[in-house]
């Protein structure tokens, strides 16, 4: 498991998100990475959840 994925899971658990929500968010992260054909850590552009949801 990548450090970024683990950090996301830890942060969501800390905020008391449900296990299903955590699975969904991690799945979105995986699909995002596959769409661009590289790891979500490669060439990070400082994307934030707030920036994506806002």
Q: How many CB atoms lie within 10 A of CB 29?
A: 16
Any idea where the domains of the chain sit in the sequence?
1-36
The per-residue pLDDT for 9 is: 95
Kindly list the distances between the CA atom of residue 49 and the CA atoms of 1, 29, 30, 53, in Å, as whole numbers in the listed order. Answer: 20, 11, 14, 6
Residue found under tokens 């979500």: 40
Q: pTM here?
A: 0.63
Closest C-alpha among 3, 4, 19 to residue 49: 4
**Residue 44 scores a pLDDT above 60:** no
Rounded Cα distance between 46 and 17, Å, is: 23
Tokens of 37: 């054909």
The DSSP code for 5 is H
**Residue 50 scores a pLDDT above 80:** no
């Amino acid at each position: 498991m990548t450090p970024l994925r683990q950090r996301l899971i830890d942060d969501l658990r800390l905020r008391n998100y449900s296990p299903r929500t955590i699975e969904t968010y991690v799945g979105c992260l995986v699909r995002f990475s596959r769409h661009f054909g590289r790891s979500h850590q490669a060439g990070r552009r400082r994307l934030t959840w707030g920036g994506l949801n806002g």
